[in-house]
Amino acid sequence: MAWLLVVVAGILETGFAVCLKLSHGFTRLWPTIAFCVFALGSFGLLTLALKRLDVGPAYAVWTGIGAAGTAIYGMVFLDDVVSTLKLVSISFVIIGVIGLQLSGSSH
């Protein structure tokens, strides 16, 4: 259950990163509000998950999901540049996240 919280928190991290861009420096109301909601949700779920998980792997998985998700979202919806190197790098992040999750936790 704690790992599920980390995954959802990572997805919400993608949401707050995208909304941060869309807010244009917090000058647009709705993206700014969405940023706050996603950020509070993401940090809240990560906080709950850290009660049961080791901080290193959990934080790395949360950050990896957020980074990969944000990069993918940017390429698909925000016209960010797509390159082979970027796709390979995202794959390495995802492989690293899976490896950390499979490494297990003492709890």
Tell me the per-residue pLDDT of 46-103, one tens digit each, with 9 for 90 and over. Answer: 999 999 999 988 999 999 999 999 999 999 999 999 999 999 999 999 998 888 778 7
* pLDDT at residue 24 in the model: 97
Angle CA 74–78–83, to nearest 5: 55
Q: Provide the number of structural domains found in the chain.
A: 1
* pLDDT at residue 103 in the model: 76
Give the containing element (helix H, strand E) for 11. helix 2-22
* pLDDT at residue 73 in the model: 97
Give the containing element (helix H, strand E) for 72. helix 55-77
* pLDDT at residue 104 in the model: 67
Tell me the per-residue pLDDT of 14-42, one tens digit each, with 9 for 90 and over. Answer: 999 999 999 999 999 999 999 999 999 99
Looking at the whole model, is its pTM more than 0.95?
A: no
Cβ distance 49 to 2 under 8 Å?
yes
Q: Which residues constitute the domain of residue 97?
A: 1-104
- Residues with Cβ < 8 Å from 21, sequence gap 6 or more? 78
